[in-house]
Chain A
Amino acid sequence: MSSSSTITTTNCYHCGEKCVEDELISDEKSFCCAGCKTVFEILNNYDLCTYYELDEAAGNTVPNGIERKRFDYLKDEEVIEKLIDFRNGTTVSASFYIPNIHCPSCIWLLENLQNIDEGILSGKVNFLKRKVTFVYNSTSTSLRNIVELLSTIGYEPNLKLGQLESDQREVKDRRLWLKLGVAGFCFGNIMLFSFPEYLNLDQSVSSNSFKIFFGTLNIVLALPVLLYSSVDYLKSAWAALSQKGINLDVPISIGIIALFGRSLYEILSGTGSGYFDSFTGFIFFLLIGKIVQQKTFEQLSFNRDYKSYLPISVIKISEDKELSVPVDKLEIGDQVTIRNQELIPADAVLVSEETQIDYSFITGESEPVLIEKGTLAFAGGKVIGTQSDFVISKKVEHSYLTQLWENEAFKGEDKKISVTSFADRISPYFTIIVIGIALLSLAIWLQIEPSKAFTIFSAVLIVACPCALALSTPFTLGSTLNILSQNGLFVRSTSVLESLSNTDTITFDKTGTITESGNTKIDFVGSTLSADELRFISSSCRTSTHPLSKTIYKELNTKSLLAPDDIHEVPGKGLFANFGNTSLWVGSQNFLIEQTDLSYSDFPDSSESGSVVHICIDNKYKGYFRFENNLREGIGSLLAKLSGSYSTFLLSGDNEKESSRLVGLFPNRKSMLFNQSPIQKLNFIENLKQQGKEVLMIGDGLNDAGALKTSSFGIAISDDTSAFSPACDAIAEGDSIKNLDTYLSFSKAAFKVILFSFGISLCYNLVGLGFAVTGHLSPLVAAILMPLSSVTIMAFTYSVTRVIAYRMGLRIWE
């Protein structure tokens, strides 16, 4: 580090961060750090600078120096096999999830890496999923080289233990689209060939031959729709019946068969033109519904377990040699080195002198704890400060974190899907009524005019086909899902919306949920500091990795910084720095007492709720910084609003010190629980559910994972939706949570909309029935009624949901 104390405001050519005193220059461009400079030099060297032309300062800030051995484990064939998508001789394809992908430049660069690594055959980015797939030649390069390259240029892939377990290859099911394609194609043409009939072509001889021609064509075109497009419905109906159950697909299938059979008969017998257009159109719309319903947010992933948090490998030290091994190969007794900001993969005993561990992941407790040599550290803890060595005391799968997961709550398979449950519930009655009417009219007509009886019987079955009915749910929920996502709440799938709408109890996690992690405000208590002193403080804090020093640096946000002439940090305690003839101590009370000639008496007896950092300059006590987690903006009013119609609880892993601030937000102290272990949280929610409550849980970190999973509907808050979030039903962007009440009432409204559209479609069915039982259901009537009803429902649900959303003040358009 050069220590020329320059005052500068240039921005890094690579990442756009503002360059501070140690500005680096290469090729007349300035860089904020060696990392960025290196990247630029690589790109420049391989002539990939278009990267910078596409977007200004496209780069990502790069952690200085990436040691090669970190990726040693990628030599392990087993690991490779698990990571790659597939192998074809020497051609291998592997996909990585790279959170850093953020702009067109990223796409361009990642797809042009062959310029750097000859072995790469092609790179393809999926921008939405922030995924890049490389095809490479395993003889001329290796997975490890690629990952290393990616990391050096600031696109470190997110390799987590999870990937080793579940095989990544998602087989894309595109059949639905094919089915839709077939249905659409046949629908269009059959409409074309049915038209002449409706406009009943002149009664000449010629038109008769046309009748036959069009008829045959229609049959031919309707076949694929029956045999291919509609087959899922028939299957599912059959499955239901064979279990003596009735789902919505039963009446649908009845309709399908009636439509097809009747049409076939009419055409072959030459008694009519059949209803093939209604039939195919009906399938076409149903499939559209299905597709809408299956809408998911590919770019987000909702079911991650703890393995997605653990690193894929650690540095293991055996006879003083460091080699990186996949964590699932760790044995009890292995000694491992965990670096700053890395997770401890398995419960392990500290062998270094002491270190700081941030358990916020598992406990939610935001403040790092200091542990001495010999103490047991739990898996999932994050090492803060210097790297430290541990001896594994439990295998990964037996560690505390894992135990948490072994809890039956997690075993429980996914919450039962209730997609059309709404419709399914009524479908038995529906079916029975329909068949009833059909038989009745059959009976009656057998008396009046036997010849027509069966025509009418089938007609009833045809019109009663609940097409619109089947569309109401998917379309309403589909557009609800859309609207919510536009407002920052990404729900896993339409199937879980119902449980959201039924919520009556809401439990909040504290840290990161109602308080905004990252946004801690500090204020200084004591004699006011001079501008220079502030500069000293922030300059020295900048070099530290401790969260508190980081906050200080961030909050003071001094324009020009200085490079200390001398600085050294005692991890987790404090730091000492020297600027010219000024010496500065920043740290805990004990640290200052040890290091300076201050004594306890010099310190104010602080009864601070939050944590504090004391400042001492030239052996004079200056005062202390006080830290407080800010509440999320708008959370107060939200809780106020909610408390009216829902019972709200706080489940915090944190200590009670902040409870004072939270009083008033929640109904009473009883509804605020502190020091909750993940298991306790989980059980608490279990109880609520026992009492028949529909519990909505909102949390962030892994410590809430259990709760989120047990709850009826779990929302994981994350300020970067693409970042990891625990298993949940929905992911919410941090600032969107303040509208939770609106989302709830909106989802409730959505189900009212469904009910209403049910009404509408039933009306259509009734009208149709009217035609049918009286024997007036001409193909034309059917052909008009069917699409009309479907389109009405689509239009109705789409517009009404949006109107409601608009009324509720939600965004309905990007």
Chain B
Amino acid sequence: MSMDTFHYDNKIVRNFGIAAMTFGIIGFIVGLIIALKLIFPDFLGFIPELSYGRLRPLHTNAVIFAFAGNAIFYGVYYSLPRLCKAPMWSPVLSQIHFWGWQLIILSAVLTLPFGITTSKEYAELEWPIDIAITIIWVVFGVNMIMTIMKRREKHLYVAIWFYIATFVTVAVLHLVNSFEVPATLLKSYPIYAGVQDALVQWWYGHNAVAFFLTTPFLGIMYYFIPKAANRPIFSYRLSIVHFWSLIFIYIWAGPHHLLYTSLPGWAQALGTVFSLMLIAPSWGGMLNGLLTLRGAWDKVREDPVLKFLVVGVTAYGMVTFEGPMLSIANVNAIAHYSDYIVGHVHNGALMWNGGLTFAMLYYITPKIYKTKLHSVKLANIHFWFATLGAIFYVIPMYWGGITQSLMWKQFTADGFLQYPNFLETVVQIIPMYALRAFGGALFIVGAIFGVYNILKTAMNGSLVDQEEAQAPALVQTGEESGGHWHRKLEGKPLKFTVLVVISILIGGIVEYMPTALIDSNIPTIESVKPYTPLEIEGRDIYIAEGCNNCHSQMIRPFRSETERYGEYSKAGEFVYDHPHLWGSKRTGPDLHRIGGKYPDSWHLRHMYDPNSTSPGSIMPAYPWMLEKEIDEESIPNRINALRTVGVPYADGYEKLAIRDLRAQAEQITNGLRENGFSSVEGIEITSDKQIIAMIAYLQRLGVDISGTKDPFEGLPSNARMGANIKEN
């Protein structure tokens, strides 16, 4: 009875490893493609599925959820059973988890390039996939928790805590951020609008980074650094403090992504303060990791695993310092919307996530294949490619970001914008884009060496797919009962207070939820009206094409921005924006006040060939908008869905919607004809084409606040019919 014998499932570990590598390479390459597209807009021609706006979400999803995601599971499925001295609880769940996750990724590949997206960053996948994600995530959670329950080692090593935190928090984040109402099978609208949607989105967005790209990798760090260096972590005490402090601060740093937006000032400041507080735990963790290697640097010199770990942890240190700095209002004012942020995240992604992942691959593969690494030399070469690649990527981005953002803010002596034409600021940094692409390419080459090396290693050995292990069963001694007497003493008041807290909390929540969800306490502006059917279609095309990846719709209250774009954005203007389209990056100019700035014909030509209106523009051309047709029949569903989430369309409007849509489309098309735009380069312009909807939407952007005309005016259904604010 003394020793249990059991088997670690190395096969599932191996599979996750393969998945991570495969999707890693794919994700990187997609990244390189879009990087090149910023230098050569015509790169890969005019295939809608391969346009920048659609590939960019594919890239982020691929590297975050496919590469990093599989890497996390790779690490967890290897380390957790070994820390618990128990195999994963259910091989079946492991399988479901693995294949389910890969299917989700596949579905991402099959939706995002086809314009099926929610436009919410890192949550672009549409509702059916959201549900799938939830299920699979729970499968993972159950499998993990049960393994922990069935463990043979009493103590939960700190890494396990980080894994648990990952599971719980990501589950909640995903849930909260995915409250959406389906309009069609592949189209949904979030229940939150405008500011609220933005807040939720970035509360999620930030914590996705925190709990998907940080905590699990910290767990991995706490397992693999000691293992690789074969020495205990510098201070185990510190690692425990690290965990608990991180857990209690992280969740609140979200709002710093919305500084200077229409988010209430105090909420923004909140984000800043808590972000700043984060430095302490983050650096505690980093130092703990690095100091573990003190006196072992000779090892680091030889061992590629340690090399990657060290650089990874160092990068983590840099990024976690940068983050809080960027959350300081004045810094943020410069860095936000610029390429600096792109550099910042890739610093973390390439070295911290990438580095740790490759470290794991180099550590685990030889172990589970019972052999040595095929070529240490090659691994070192990989290391240098990766590091140089990261440097060549990050530094130009920092440089370009700051340059451009300063140009945006540059005024002439007599108070005019120095670079009134946004394009000037873009052209300026294209060389940086080139360098970035080069860096990325280096990183990919390195990664390919890595993959080759791993595969070779695997071939040299043979997989021990069921690794036998032994450990004594965990005996449930009544030891704690030794402490019972004092529990009884302090237990009661404690339990009491805890219960009080929880109950009152729930009470309070129940009380506030309705008010919270119904009236969204946003100062409403009388003249702001819902979108017309055609504009809705236009907006959904805007989303499908991923315009928000390069164009913000949020003018910050800086003179430099009001000069350039017009009056700054008010919270009240977004109350009908499901979802918000504030964007987080300005590769192109802000569009919130684009409405009425140019004639329809300008938009027509610009969409067909940006260079015709703005020479040197790197915006992709959208010729297909002149050919693809407006999706009319789903309009009623969309109206209904939007009504459900609170847009005040009068009941029954969905029946009149299509008529309105056609009417408005006709108006625009006629307008174009009158100005001699009955066709562009031989393509006839008809009212049923997407371009018309797009124009309608763009011309509507940001005009309501002036309150000059009711958008429904002149539509078959009169204004009152269209939207009746009073009703809600």
Contacts and interface: CB of A to CB of B under 8 A. Distances in A.
Is A–B contact present in the complex under a CB 8 A cutoff? Answer: yes
A763 interface: no
A195 B2 contact: no
Contacts of B478: 86, 88
B464 interface: no
Given A91-B475, A114-B472, A204-B523, A195 B270 contact: yes
Given A86-B478, A114-B472, A185-B248, A228 B265 contact: no
Given A121-B2, A220-B508, A224-B501, A169 B482 contact: yes
Contact of A199 (B252, B269, B498): B269
A489 to B, nearest CB: 22
A217 B508 contact: yes
A673 interface: no
A86 B479 contact: yes
B492 to A, nearest CB: 11
A171 B483 contact: yes
A397 interface: no
Interface string A160-178: 0000000001011111001
A349 interface: no
Nearest to B520: A206
Contacts of B44: none
B287 interface: no
A171 B478 CA distance: 14
Given A192-B274, A220-B508, A122 B497 contact: no
Interface string B1-28: 1110000000000000000000000000
A213 B248 contact: no
B266 A213 contact: no
20 contacts: A86-B479, A86-B481, A91-B475, A115-B2, A178-B490, A184-B244, A188-B249, A195-B270, A199-B266, A200-B266, A201-B266, A202-B264, A209-B521, A217-B505, A217-B508, A220-B500, A220-B508, A223-B497, A224-B500, A228-B497
A195 B493 contact: no
Q: Give 9 nearest A-B pairs by CB, closest first.
A: A206-B521, A114-B2, A199-B266, A224-B497, A196-B266, A121-B475, A220-B504, A201-B266, A88-B478
A765 B252 CA distance: 32
B430 to A, nearest CB: 41
Given A86-B478, A122-B472, 9 more contacts: A86-B481, A114-B2, A114-B3, A124-B154, A173-B486, A178-B494, A192-B270, A201-B264, A206-B522
A448 interface: no
A748 B496 CA distance: 46
A1 interface: no
A221 B501 contact: yes
Contacts of B270: 192, 195-196, 199
Interface of B: 1-3, 154, 244, 248-249, 252, 264-267, 269-270, 273-274, 472-475, 477-479, 481-483, 485-486, 490, 493-494, 496-498, 500-501, 504-505, 508, 512, 515, 521-523
Contacts of B264: 201-202, 207
A560 interface: no
B195 to A, nearest CB: 12
A117 B1 CA distance: 11
Contacts of A221: 501
B503 to A, nearest CB: 9
A721 interface: no
B483 A135 contact: no
B249 A122 contact: no
A182 to B, nearest CB: 8
A202 B265 contact: yes
Contacts of A93: 477, 479
A209 B511 CA distance: 12
B274 to A, nearest CB: 7
Contact of B475 (A135, A200, A217): A135
Contacts of A223: 497, 500-501
Interface residues of A, number: 49
B85 to A, nearest CB: 11
Nearest to A133: B479
A181 B474 CA distance: 28
Interface in A55-98: 85-86, 88, 91, 93
Contact of A88 (B252, B477, B494): B477
A216 interface: yes
Chain B contact residues: helix, strand, loop or mixed:
helix
Contacts of A227: 493, 496-497
Contact of B477 (A91, A118, A169, A205): A91
A135 B473 CA distance: 11
A17 B477 CA distance: 40
A71 B271 CA distance: 66
A328 B2 CA distance: 36
Nearest to B274: A192
A562 B140 CA distance: 68
Interface in A106-144: 114-115, 117-122, 124, 135, 137
Contacts of A181: 244
Contacts of B154: 124
A64 B577 CA distance: 85
A195 B475 CA distance: 48
Contacts of A118: 1-2
A157 B501 CA distance: 49
A177 to B, nearest CB: 10
A209 B521 CA distance: 10
B704 to A, nearest CB: 21
A7 B46 CA distance: 87
A224 B248 contact: no
A299 to B, nearest CB: 14
Contacts of B269: 195, 199
B482 A85 contact: yes
Contact of B498 (A196, A204, A213, A224): A224
Nearest to B508: A216
B86 to A, nearest CB: 14
Given A85-B482, A184-B248, A199-B269, A122 B501 contact: no
Contacts of B477: 86, 88, 91, 93, 135
Contacts of A184: 244, 248
Contacts of A201: 264-266
A175 B477 CA distance: 22
B325 to A, nearest CB: 20
A445 B236 CA distance: 55
Contacts of B522: 206
Contacts of A174: 483
Interface in A268-304: none
Interface string A244-284: 00000000000000000000000000000000000000000
Contact of B486 (A137, A175, A196, A217): A175
Nearest to A200: B266
Contacts of B248: 184-185, 188
Contacts of A202: 264-265
A221 B270 CA distance: 19
A712 to B, nearest CB: 33
Nearest to B252: A192
Contacts of A91: 475, 477
Nearest to A186: B501
Contacts of A115: 2-3
Contact of B512 (A114, A213, A231): A213
Contacts of B490: 175, 178
A216 B505 CA distance: 9
A644 to B, nearest CB: 40
A359 to B, nearest CB: 41
Contacts of A185: 248
A323 B266 CA distance: 80
Contacts of B266: 195-196, 199-201
Contacts of A224: 497-498, 500-501
B501 A220 contact: yes
B474 A122 contact: yes
Interface in A190-235: 192, 195-196, 199-202, 204-207, 209, 213, 216-217, 220-221, 223-224, 227-228, 231
